[in-house]
Amino acid sequence: MSATRLPHIAVLRLGHRRERDKRITSHLGLTARAFGADEIYLAGEEDPSALETWNSVSKRFGGNFQCRYEDKPLSLLRKFSKDSGNGESGSIIHLTMYGEPWKEALPKINLDKPMIIVVGGTKVPGEVYRLANHNISIGNQPHSEVSALAIFLDSLVGDIDDQAHFSDGELRVIPNAIRKQVVNIEEE
C-alpha cells in the first residue's frame, strides 16, 4: 500500500510487564524501527532497559527513531484522537485478533494524518477499541504482536531503502548470500 510520503507513524506498546515481556517488547520496538515507524511509546511498567536497547540500536545502525515511556496511554490516545498537534485528529489503529481483516482495512486508512498503531500486552481496555479508528486483525488466531506489527507495517509502508533511511548509523549491514558482512561507516 505504500504511499509516496507517509504520515508520522508511532507505535504504542500497552501493558508492558518488565520481567515477563522484556524480550517481546524489545522486539516490538526493533520491528517498529526496522519497518518504518518514527517512534514508539512504552506503556505499562517503566522499563529503562527497553528504551536503552532501542536508542543503542538507532545509534549504531542509524535512523531517526524516537522512544519514550508513556505513563498515561489512554490520555495520550484521547488527546491524539482529538488533536494530533497540528489542529486535526490523528488515526488510531489497534492491532487485535478480533478486528477487521487487515487486507480489507488497509485501503480505508487515511494516509494524510499521523497515526498511532496500538499493540497490547496484557488485557487491552475496552476504551482502546472505542477510540480506535480501525481495529485491525492480521489473523483471528492467537499470534505474536511482533508478527502482527511487522506484517501491518510492511503492508502500510512497503519497502524501505535501508541505505537512505538508516544512513546516519555507525554500522551498515551489507546484504550477502554467503556470509555475515557488517562495515563500520567511519572506516569506509
Domain ranges (residues) in the chain: 9-161
Cα dist. 31→26, 120, 121, 147, 186 in Å? 9, 15, 16, 9, 26
Burial level of 164, CB count in 10 A (0-12/13-18/19+)? exposed
Q: What is the CATH number of domain 9-161?
A: 3.40.1280.10
Residues written for the chain? 188
Strands in 39-44's sheet, in edge-to-edge order, are 66-69, 39-44, 9-16, 115-119, 91-101, 134-137
pLDDT at 164: 76
Mean pLDDT, all residues of the chain: 88
11-15, 74-78, 121-125, 173-177: the lowest-pLDDT one: 121-125
- CA dihedral over 78, 83, 85, 91, signed as positive or negative: positive
pTM: 0.90
Mean pLDDT of 26-41: 94
Read off the amino acid at residue 8: H
* Residues 66/39, Cβ–Cβ less than 8 Å: yes
Dig out the grid coordinates for 27 from the structure. 522486539
pLDDT at 2: 46
Position 82 pLDDT exceeds 80: no
pLDDT tens track for 127-179: 999 999 999 999 888 888 999 999 999 999 988 877 777 888 888 888 889 99
Mean pLDDT of 31-57: 93
